[in-house]
Chain A
Amino acid sequence: MSTAIQNVSRRGFLKGMFSAGAFVLAVRYLPDVAFAEEIARDVIDHAPLHPSVYVGLETDGTVYIVAHRSEMGTSSRTSVPLILADELDADWARVKIIQAIGDPRYGSQNTDGSRSVRDFFNPMREGGATARLMLVRAAAQQWGVSPDECSTGLHQVIHGPSGRKADYGQLVAAAAKLPVPAKSEVKFKPRSQWRYIGKGENPYDLRDYCTGKANFGLDAKVDGMLYAAIAHPPVLGGTVKSLDDKPALAVKGVHQTTTIETFKAPCVFQPLGGVAVLADNTWAAFQGRKQLKITWDNGANAVYNSGEFKRQLQETARKPGKVWRNQGDVDKEFATGKKTIEAEYYIPHLAHASMEPPMALADVRGDRIEVWTATQNPQAVQDSIASALKVPKENVVCHVTLLGGGFGRKSKPDNAVEAAVLSRKAGKPVKVVWSREDDIRFDYYHTVSAAYMKAAVDDKGRPTAWLQRNVFPPIASIFQAGAESAGPGDMQQGWTDIPYDLPNLRAENGPAPAHVRIGWFRSVANIYQAFAVQSFTDELAANANADRIQYALELIGPPRKIDFKALGVDYPNYGGSLEEYPVDTGRLRHVIEQVAEKSGWGKEKSGNGLGYGFAAHRSFLTYVACIVKVEVNTDGDISIPRVDYVIDAGTVVNPDRTKSQFEGAAVFGTSIARYGEITAKNGVIEQSNFNDYQVTRLPEAPRQTNVYIVESDAPPAGVGEPGVPPFVPAFCNAIFAATGKRVRELPLSKMDFSKTAKS
């Protein structure tokens, strides 16, 4: 992965090749753009000095850095350019960030998998170091000295022996005439000289966020655009049987209605289908949609009922499934007559519910398309629209706005395809606005899952055999019709990499069909796999009457790197190499030992409405240990006065933003645990808005979340997602510690904790 990306970044040396056509396109075909922004490739390629696709310098010293990843709240738009600025020794105050359009020249722009910093750490450094070397050489040439005698300070080149200094701006013109140095000549700064990495900066858009000036997708507008609301088929795959749109057309401000064809399976990122109402403003479009008289053919997914489906999942989980990891012989051990412990866990479907609902604005002119959308994946927008409208991908210009949350939902650009289809039909720019009801009812849901766990324990309560099985409709089902089984990418997320040092261990997965669109959701399979493993660990520790942390450390065993080859496990490791990013139980042990110390573990006794819970989990190459403190009152209300996280994410670029991701992960995990549940009845989703799909609000959020970052020289790992998986079981384990009630099914809102504490 990293090699390919570096090659892509080198393409920037072919100056102008990719920009000329694009610039013409932007000017000729797309006038009347009120939502003004610069196209990154034009700004960079027209800057006098632009030795990489990610950076351009102006003669006044302004440094343009491209943010090619999407900003949805993780600060990738700040932290990734900050790496380049550091290597360039640029003054952050003189850096302007330009958001990239979708363009393969930047490498992957799919902002998911907690990998923006990880995948682009070295490409960014390379861009900065190359520019810095050229500025040094330009200065040395002007001064008639050896470049070896020159160094850089803040936005300037310094000649040590003479003390001469030159601002970058003064050197840009001369540097631009120099050949771009070969990669072998470019050297990175030593870690000790890092200026921003490890210290961080505030979000680039911080002030705009606080003044209402930040432009999100829903704020995009172009002259003459229509607003569209779409009545989607209530059941996935349903079609329009009959339509009476006269009452809708009678609504003031409504221009027209148009039918969108239902996708042919697999759905991938195609539109759901339905009937669109195009109007002068959002309200008129919503009102018009209400007046549509549609009879639907619900199709095959009308069989989907969540209660029945749950029972099927649980039955499948009790039966042998496909074996993904196998050590020793659990069956033989279970047959020895030792005490066995079984438990089942269940988490329902979840909806992303980002605060900004999905949207897209598209302007189709002939075979040229310009689109503005809050997307995590602009290249997928290009691909999906190109495929739907049968135009070359290069004809689709995708502008990426700020995202009002993403959480994985906005990696799927079905809404952008809707806008393009409608714009072509209407002959005008069209902005598709999903209401909150659309968002909740027609999401790419986090999958529903059941797990069955069984352990044999010795007379001290330590497991001698461990069996784990789970079942869930896989994400693969949106790409391959009828797909029912997990793949290595699902199993890697806390199932095949269970870090326990046990002689007999087996991990299995069974099949389950999908009846709704299944999609990536912050932390993905780690959520339910960590929930099962970390809850079951707590159950075994409780059975052994052992200290939870000591018990977990014993299960993990001595520091070592898990040898997946020896285990016969296909372990994708989130796309990272196992040499660079091993599964290192030493690092896992360290975060656990640290969180026990930082949280004051064991100083206060759990019970009678007060409880501490623990869980630890590696995901997205980052090691996280979490301790949650809960208080449960006699009415059964649960509050969370304190959460402690210790994380080892390797090299951390932006510590405060990293901490904020974990603070947020604790709240996101609280929502999953307290309320998260999407259900279907006859294929129709039963929830619709924040009244029946609740998320955590301020009073019930963790009151104080402390995040401690382990100092590390290891390569950077993920920070956006790894905070969620351990939080959920740690929270539920804390509830058990406080009340004696074990949580095996979420959400908690279905359980009654009243009278578990003494008044």
Chain B
Amino acid sequence: MIQFKLNGKQQSFDGDPSMPLLWYVRDIAGLSGTKFGCGMGFCGACTVHRNGKAVRSCSIPMSGVAGQEIVTIEAIAGANGLHPVQIAWIENSVPQCGYCQSGQIMQAVALLAETPKPTDADIENPMAGNICRCGTYQRIRAAIKQAAGVKA
């Protein structure tokens, strides 16, 4: 039996321990904000936080979340209903199709937690793991800078 926390709530799982966290989140917990993009950790659409760090939930087996705290896009907002990164995303009208944006936002939130005033290079490295096929990168960069309060 694997015990862990998902968005602050205790979970227990006794299924296939090799099943990636992504499918627990989506198919079993029913949280569909975390997306399936590649299943191999190449695209970042499935990004969640494990103990505050951005990870690819498609590449973490359930055995790897025992005792860990997992947070998904559904639980990053504060009391006003939106995280500052989400506000910046909305104000820059970042999404086109929107599918990758949960993962982009989760990655950006983790990035800013670690590097509150990022340079362009600070943004490029961690965000390189998140693909947006619509090509919203210019606005992603602008939104991260806005959320961080650094000059565009």
Chain A interfacial positions (CB closer than 8 Å to B)? 71-75, 202-203, 205-216, 218-219, 221, 227, 252-253, 281-284, 286-287, 353-357, 402-407, 433, 435-437, 656-657, 660-661, 663-668, 670, 689-691, 695-699, 701-705
Contact = CB atoms under 8 A, between A and B. Distances in A.
Contact of A212 (B19, B43, B72): B72
A406 to B, nearest CB: 8
B101 A209 contact: yes
Interface residues of B, number: 59
A436 B56 CA distance: 15
B33 to A, nearest CB: 2
B54 interface: no
A355 B97 contact: yes
Contacts of B36: 218, 282, 356-357, 433
- The SS class assigned to the B binding surface is loop
Given A212-B32, A356-B99, A699-B128, A203 B93 contact: yes
Contacts of B45: 355
Contact of B27 (A205, A208, A282): A282
Contacts of B124: 698-699
Contacts, number: 189
Contacts of A667: 132, 134-135, 137
Contacts of A281: 19, 23, 27-28
Contact of B89 (A210, A219, A663, A696): A210
A701 B135 contact: yes
Contacts of B43: 355, 436, 690
Contact of A207 (B90, B123, B134): B90
Closest 10 CB pairs of A and B: A212-B33, A667-B135, A404-B99, A73-B97, A209-B98, A73-B96, A212-B73, A664-B135, A690-B42, A219-B32
Contacts of A354: 97, 99, 133
Contact of A436 (B19, B40, B95): B40
B37 A436 contact: yes
B33 A213 contact: yes
A474 to B, nearest CB: 25
Given A218-B35, A404-B99, A211 B23 contact: no
B2 interface: no
A689 B33 contact: no
Given A282-B27, A283-B23, A691-B40, A664 B136 contact: yes
A665 B135 contact: yes
A210 B26 CA distance: 17
B102 interface: yes
B38 A690 contact: yes
B34 A212 contact: yes
B61 to A, nearest CB: 10
A208 B101 CA distance: 10
B138 A701 contact: yes
Given A282-B36, A355-B132, A436-B39, 10 more contacts: A214-B98, A218-B32, A218-B36, A283-B16, A660-B139, A661-B96, A663-B139, A664-B135, A690-B38, A699-B124
A539 B112 CA distance: 46
Contacts of A202: 90, 93
B138 A405 contact: no
A284 B36 CA distance: 15
Contacts of B33: 211-213
B113 interface: no
B59 interface: no
B77 A211 contact: yes
B95 A283 contact: no
B96 to A, nearest CB: 4
A202 B94 CA distance: 10
A689 B40 contact: yes
B95 A206 contact: yes
A205 B93 CA distance: 11
The winner among B34, B72, B124 for most chain A CB atoms within 10 A is B124
The winner among B37, B45, B74 for most chain A CB atoms within 10 A is B37
Nearest to B96: A73
B77 A664 contact: no
B27 A283 contact: yes
A374 to B, nearest CB: 9
Interface of B: 15-16, 19-20, 23, 26-28, 30-40, 42-43, 45, 72-74, 77, 82, 86, 89-90, 93-102, 105, 123-125, 127-141
B40 A690 contact: yes
B141 A698 contact: yes
B26 A698 contact: no
B53 to A, nearest CB: 19
A690 to B, nearest CB: 4
B27 A404 contact: no
A698 B140 contact: yes
Contacts of B101: 209-210
A718 to B, nearest CB: 16
Given A211-B33, A218-B36, A695 B99 contact: no
A695 B129 CA distance: 11
Contacts of A74: 96
A208 to B, nearest CB: 8
Contacts of A283: 16, 19-20, 23, 27
The winner among A216, A354, A355, A657 for most chain B CB atoms within 10 A is A355
Given A73-B97, A356-B35, A436-B37, A663 B42 contact: no
Contact of B136 (A72, A221, A356, A660): A660
Contacts of A691: 40, 42
A404 B93 CA distance: 17
A664 B134 contact: yes
A701 B128 CA distance: 10
B64 to A, nearest CB: 15
A218 B129 CA distance: 22
B28 to A, nearest CB: 7
B72 A663 contact: no
Nearest to A35: B32
B86 A695 contact: no
Contacts of A286: 39
Contact of A698 (B31, B98, B127): B127
A354 B38 CA distance: 11
Contact of B82 (A211, A227, A402): A211
A670 B137 CA distance: 12
A228 to B, nearest CB: 13
A705 to B, nearest CB: 6
The winner among B93, B101, B125, B133 for most chain A CB atoms within 10 A is B133
B97 A663 contact: no
B46 to A, nearest CB: 11
Contacts of A437: 39
5 contacts: A211-B82, A282-B23, A433-B36, A663-B136, A663-B138
A698 B86 contact: no
A116 to B, nearest CB: 14
A355 B133 contact: yes
A281 B99 CA distance: 21
Nearest to A440: B38
A212 B27 CA distance: 15
Contact of A663 (B16, B19, B26, B135): B135
Given A214-B98, A402-B97, A436-B38, A227 B16 contact: no
Contacts of B30: 221
A356 B98 CA distance: 10
Contacts of B93: 202-203, 206, 656-657, 660
A568 B91 CA distance: 51
B34 A216 contact: no
A277 B65 CA distance: 28
A657 B136 CA distance: 11
B49 to A, nearest CB: 13
A667 B23 CA distance: 30
A353 B101 CA distance: 16
Contacts of A705: 138
A277 to B, nearest CB: 15
